[in-house]
Amino acid sequence: MTHNKNDSDPSRIQNLILFKHEIKETLKKEAEAFESVEQEDQIKLVYEIKPYGGNFRYSIMLLNQSTQPITNVKIKIMFPGFLELHRCSPPTIIEDDSTRDKDKAQQVKLDFDELSKKSKKQINLYLVPRTLNHKGEIRTYVNFVNYQDYVRVLNSDPVDIIVPPLTIEKAIIPSSKIEEIYNDKDFKKALKSYGVGIEGEDKEDKNDLYFNIMEQILRFHNMQLLAKDIKNRVLWYFGKCWNKNEIETSRQYEVLVIGQIESNKIEFLITSKNPEFLISLSTIIASDLKRRILSTGIVKSVNDIYDLGCKNCGLALSSFPAKGESIECENCNYDQIVW
């Protein structure tokens, strides 16, 4: 067997070594490209909207299931102008004031530096309708930088949101059934609590007026009085309601409303098996309450009527504090100033 003397030429050996090095570099680049694609596939955006205690809760969850972090995460959520942001978690979300127009889309933003590997971030928006009989869409847009410093985009599909108008009719039930409905787990509940921003001793003096306004609202919207405790300022109203746009096909749902004045708070507890109707009825009551209080001249602006739901968890605060005083939520211990 013969050998070519050039086979052992050092320059040719060097060339072979260089070629081997090039293979390693090529494989490394391919591996990085694959890992980049793999990370893209492992960044997920999950979202849903559901009725929740008289509000719509729009939840998104950004999941990083990859082995590398993502950075400079920017989230923008667009929602229709007939909705108002009631609260959010985390409370660091920024609402764009320039978009506060009921006829235009609104947006909120949240930025954070990093989402670590194998981690997730959840955001909840609690939205209340300004008025009824609307339909719109909510969408989420996410920008982030992957581990190779490339900007990537991840967007949701549009989610429909509908606020139906209601038709309400009076209905009578035995007073003994009130507790049965209240304790029925199939009946969803919404507690709406408000405080009127006036200072001094006049606050207590207005409670009888608020109680009368509360009763006027429920009578005006065609609900039936079941019982009333004037001394303790509590009343119980009942009715049946259905979607006004679908009178022929819509199912009727029973609705029980308990109104009370307590600790300088105006409160409505609304319960029904249809959670979307809870939202519509809560909207009707809140809008009418603010309109009637403004008409008395007690306050000059709707901004002087405060929602007393905790800014963190949403449950009603135990009382309406004085101006500038903080109050701690009995449910989540979040300390806050209402006005």
Q: Which of 90-104, 254-268, 301-315 has the lowest mean pLDDT?
A: 90-104
Contacts of 141 (CB under 8 A, 6+ apart): 75, 76, 77, 78, 153, 155, 156
* pLDDT confidence band for 23 (50 / 70 / 90): low
Q: Which domains does the chain have, with CATH numbers?
A: 43-163 (2.60.40.10), 166-307 (3.30.310.10)
* pLDDT confidence band for 17 (50 / 70 / 90): very low
User: Quick check: helix, strand or coil at residue 127?
Assistant: strand
212 strand-pairing partners: none
Is a pLDDT exceeding 80 seen at residue 36?
no
Is a pLDDT exceeding 50 seen at residue 222?
yes
Cα 67 from Cα 116, distance rounded (Å): 9
* pLDDT confidence band for 61 (50 / 70 / 90): very high
The whole-number average pLDDT for the span 216-239 is 97
Position with higher pLDDT, 18 vs 305: 305
* pLDDT confidence band for 102 (50 / 70 / 90): low
User: Quick check: helix, strand or coil at residue 282?
Assistant: helix
Q: What percent of the chain clears pLDDT 70, i.e. is strictly above it?
A: 86
First to last CA, the chain: 99
CA 152 to chain centre: 26
- Residues 56 and 161: beta-carbon distance below 8 Å: yes
**Average pLDDT value for the chain:** 88
Token reading at 273: 């098996």
Torsion of CA 314, 315, 316, 318, to 10 degrees: -120
pLDDT of 14 reads 52
Is a pLDDT exceeding 70 seen at residue 116?
yes
* pLDDT confidence band for 4 (50 / 70 / 90): low
Token reading at 220: 């005006």
What are the phi and psi torsion angles at 334 (to 5°)?
-80, 125
pLDDT of 246 reads 83
The whole-number average pLDDT for the span 328-337 is 95
* pLDDT confidence band for 28 (50 / 70 / 90): low
- Residues 280 and 164: beta-carbon distance below 8 Å: yes
pLDDT of 90 reads 81
Cα 146 from Cα 226, distance rounded (Å): 61
